[in-house]
Amino acid sequence: MRKIVAQLFISVDGVVEDPHEWHFPYFSDEMGAAVDAVLGQADTLLLGRVTYDSFAGAWPEREAAGGEDAPFAKKLGDARKIVVSKRTLDFTWRNSEQLQGDFEDAVRALKSEPGDDRIAVSGSVSVVRSLLAAGLLDELNLLVHPIAVRKGERLFDEGDTPVPLKLLSAETFGSGVLNLVYGPEPAAAPEAGYEDAKAHLPRS
């Protein structure tokens, strides 16, 4: 069974919208390696339409230009790109296709296909939310930037159901960015109150 790993740039106040407006000052060799470990090493990408359009509008030209980012652009171009959208799409970027049929059924079938053990999701907030809700996301990689953006869409929207997660790894980059990897927590969120917490307070 293949794993689905989602990676998002996120501010300390939870904003994931338009990271190009606040993210680049924190990009470093460490972050480049983290991005390559998820996107650059996956043979399949699962993307929302908005993220796909952004990628398709930039990376093919960067690959053709032959600059220092061309090798990474080629990796994205060579990967199979599966786009989630309710509208019928036409593609010009190679190796692109549309996810067909019911979302959950199609993703489960995708996870069962042969290939590299990792299917990568970049950005694509609505896709990440749907994967979490369906219990189909195996890892959530949040690159938490030390900035409060204070406006824009946040990863977790308003809702009545908590989303318990389990921390798998944590790393601090020299830029101050936190590289956090979470997995699903199969148990329900624990219930506790002040009476439970006070036992852990300092006693002197």
* pLDDT (0 to 100) of residue 114: 86
Return the CATH number at 92: 3.40.430.10
Mean pLDDT confidence for 101-128: 93
Task: Give the type of residue at 124.
Answer: S
Contact assessment for residue 23 and residue 147, using Cβ atoms and an 8 Å cutoff: no
Task: Give the type of residue at 146.
Answer: P
- Burial code of 103-131, b = ≥16 C-beta within 10 A, e = fewer? eeebbeebeeeeeeebbbbbbbbebbbbb
Q: Tens digit of pLDDT for each residue in 19-72? A: 999 999 999 999 999 999 999 999 999 999 999 999 999 999 999 999 999 999
Closest C-alpha to 12, from 186, 168, 178: 178
Give the β-pairing of 96-98 and 139-145.
Answer: unpaired
Helix (H) or strand (E) holding 11: strand 3-11
Place of tokens 């439970």: 196
The model's confidence at residue 189, banded by pLDDT at 50, 70 and 90, is: low
Q: Give the separation between CA 150 and CA 130, rounded to whole angstroms.
A: 24
pTM score, two decimals?
Answer: 0.92
The gap between the terminal CA atoms of the chain, to the nearest Å, is 51
pLDDT reading at 195 higher than 90: no
Mean pLDDT confidence for 151-175: 91
Number of domains in the chain: 1
Return the SS3 of 128: helix
CA–chain centroid gap for 163, Å, is: 16
Helix (H) or strand (E) holding 96: strand 96-98
Domain assignment of residue 109, given as a range? 3-200
